[in-house]
């Protein structure tokens, strides 16, 4: 079909949908649409075969070589700018793209297709995870971490975690101790001139200390005047563990699959230390639990995640450690890095920052204590964080799935077992008005708002979706909310004019390409 006929066909479809105003002047748009006509499906049309999915072809689909060709020096992109590369591919090929990212995969960006994926993920959702962690587990005769487990093995560990971590009020039980951690964090910002590197370190200490309250039943002492070196080493080991996994995930390490290369050796050392320290904390908790039981002092009504898991029949101490280590690692790395993203969006939008602050001060005043009741009323704060997630996603691609059944996505047959990446961050730019503006108001409920596409809620899923969403989601959100509450209650956030920062890249979470020089000033 020639271009003229393609344009006429697309125009006809748009007219039927009621898109008539100004149609004749949108020739450029129509020419773009015509290049993607193969991906416009009509009701009752026959799906196209898998091999017809557009994307880089030929040598670009070869094992190993195909992945290398995605990045410099063969393109202008690196694994850290994968999101920009995917934007280019979607612009060229449309919302459904086939390519090789480590393994052959299909990337979809249309909300309706994302919805179809989640509707067909089955009883035991399967995703593509950190390969190197599975290799480590095999070489050390350990159970895979919960993020790597599949099938019934995953379900047996996830179910007790769900019962304690996914309830609406799960994180609220820890609001008090986590607020104290946030107070320690803000005290330093208010009393010291903090360099960009120092701020990054403080964010990691804050996130680590906050999630340790949940995972290990106590503080690590990272904000003490003279922190315990063991706790500092524990935090650094957690950072290194994620850094090495990120290298493997982004294709910077391949040799670890066959031998203990340098990347694997660093992971082995760092994760080994994380396990050793975590098992020590859990053993202490076990001893404390047994002492309370013997003394008749155990309060079964007291919310205590670690105690309740250790008391669960069928859960070994190793299984409890698996859950808590995963919670700690994910809760530290992702939260610490996203704190700077959230602060940046607030700093670059002072009017919105002031609205968040007003809500906080109206409820708490400058020195008021945060309670669960008041926290639940902070709707604009929560809208601001969600808008930050929409504008700058924590990850370059939202999540992945490997479906147990054949499906049709973007008009193409996708066989069961295909790795599917869900590029929701792109959809969050293409399906909203003023997509590059920071507008928390778009998430506030309004009586006059019209019902939107039911699939649009899947454009912003920083913690995944469905039965296999992030187990620590409620805690990560609460830690980010608390950091913002405590900072904005006392300080105004600006970005210094001399900041060298240019853009956020992914390692594997959103990270400033160069340190952001924030300026924290006391409010009047």
- DSSP H or E segment with residue 474: helix 473-490
First to last CA, the chain: 67
- Phi–psi pair at 494, nearest 5 degrees: -130, 160
**What is d(CA 523, CA 134) in angstroms, rounded to the nearest whole number?**
49
**What is d(CA 322, CA 283) in angstroms, rounded to the nearest whole number?**
13
Radius of gyration of the chain (CA): 24
**CA atoms within 13 A of residue 23's CA, in its CB half-sphere:** 15
Please report, in range form, the residues annotated as the binding site: 470
**What is d(CA 439, CA 201) in angstroms, rounded to the nearest whole number?**
29
Tokens 């600006």 belong to which residue? Answer: 494
Buried/exposed 76-89: b ≥16 CB within 10 Å, e otherwise: ebbbbbbbbbbbeb
Tokens of 497: 């004019």
CA angle (509, 418, 82) in 5-degree steps: 30
358's CB contacts (< 8 A; 6+ apart) are none
91's CB contacts (< 8 A; 6+ apart) are none
Count of C-beta atoms within a 10 Å radius of residue 166: 16
SS3 412: strand
**What is d(CA 96, CA 55) in angstroms, rounded to the nearest whole number?**
8
Please report, in range form, the residues annotated as the binding site for heme: 470
- Phi–psi pair at 48, nearest 5 degrees: -85, 155
In DSSP notation, 251-320 reads TS--GGGTS--HHHHHHHHHHHHHHHHHHHHHHHHHHHHHHHHHHT---TTS--HHHHHHT-TT--HHHH
Q: What is the largest CA-CA distance in the chain?
A: 84
Number of H helices, E strands in the chain: 18, 10
Query: What's the Cα-to-Cα distance from 73 to each of 69, 76, 78, 198, 204, rounded to whole Å?
Result: 8, 7, 9, 34, 33
Q: How far is CA 27 from the centre of its chain?
A: 38
């Amino acid at each position: 079909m020639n271009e003229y006929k393609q344009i006429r066909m697309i125009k006809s479809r748009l007219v039927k949908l009621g898109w008539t105003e100004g149609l004749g002047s949108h020739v450029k748009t129509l020419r773009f649409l015509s290049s993607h006509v193969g991906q416009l499906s009509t009701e009752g049309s026959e799906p196209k075969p898998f091999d017809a999915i557009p994307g880089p072809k030929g040598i670009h689909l070869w094992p190993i070589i195909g992945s290398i060709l995605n990045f410099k020096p063969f393109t202008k992109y690196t694994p850290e700018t994968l999101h920009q590369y995917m934007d280019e591919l979607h612009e060229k090929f449309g919302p459904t793209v086939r390519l090789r990212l480590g393994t052959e995969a299909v990337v979809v960006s249309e909300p309706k297709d994302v919805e179809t994926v989640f509707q067909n993920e089955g009883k035991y959702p399967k995703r593509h995870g950190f390969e190197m962690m599975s290799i480590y587990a095999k070489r050390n005769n350990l159970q895979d971490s919960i993020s790597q487990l599949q099938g019934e093995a995953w379900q047996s560990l996830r179910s007790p975690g769900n019962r304690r971590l996914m309830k609406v009020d799960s994180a609220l039980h820890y609001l008090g101790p986590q607020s104290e951690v946030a107070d320690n964090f803000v005290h330093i910002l208010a009393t010291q001139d903090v360099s960009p590197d120092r701020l990054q370190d403080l964010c990691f200490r804050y996130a680590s200390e906050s999630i340790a309250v949940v995972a290990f039943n106590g503080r690590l002492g990272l904000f003490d005047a003279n922190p315990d070196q063991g706790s500092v080493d524990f935090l650094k080991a957690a950072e290194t563990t994620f850094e090495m996994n990120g290298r493997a995930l982004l294709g910077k390490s391949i040799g670890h699959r066959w031998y203990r290369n340098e990347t694997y050796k660093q992971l082995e050392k760092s994760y080994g230390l994380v396990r050793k320290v975590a098992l020590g904390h859990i053993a202490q908790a076990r001893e404390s639990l047994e002492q309370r039981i013997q003394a008749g002092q155990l309060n079964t009504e007291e919310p205590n995640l670690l105690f309740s898991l250790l008391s669960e029949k069928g859960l070994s101490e190793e299984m409890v450690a698996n859950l808590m280590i995963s919670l700690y690692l994910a809760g530290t790395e992702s939260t610490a890095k996203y704190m700077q993203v959230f602060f940046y969006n607030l700093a670059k939008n002072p009017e919105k920052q002031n609205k968040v602050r007003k809500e906080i001060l109206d409820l708490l005043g400058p020195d008021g204590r945060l309670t669960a009741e008041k926290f639940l009323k902070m709707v604009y704060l929560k809208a601001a964080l969600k808008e930050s997630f929409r504008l700058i996603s924590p990850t370059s691609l939202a999540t992945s799935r490997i479906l147990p059944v054949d499906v049709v996505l973007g008009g193409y047959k996708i066989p069961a077992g295909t790795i599917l990446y869900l590029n929701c961050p792109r959809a969050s730019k293409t399906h909203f008005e003023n997509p590059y503006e920071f507008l928390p108001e778009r998430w506030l409920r309004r009586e006059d708002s019209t019902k939107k596409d039911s699939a649009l809620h899947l454009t912003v899923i920083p913690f995944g979706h469905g039965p296999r969403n992030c187990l620590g989601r409620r805690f990560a959100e609460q830690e980010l909310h608390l950091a913002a509450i405590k900072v904005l209650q006392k300080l105004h956030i600006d970005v210094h004019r001399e900041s060298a920062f240019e853009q956020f890249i992914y390692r594997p979470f959103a990270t400033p390409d160069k340190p952001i020089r924030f300026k924290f000033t006391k409010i009047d």
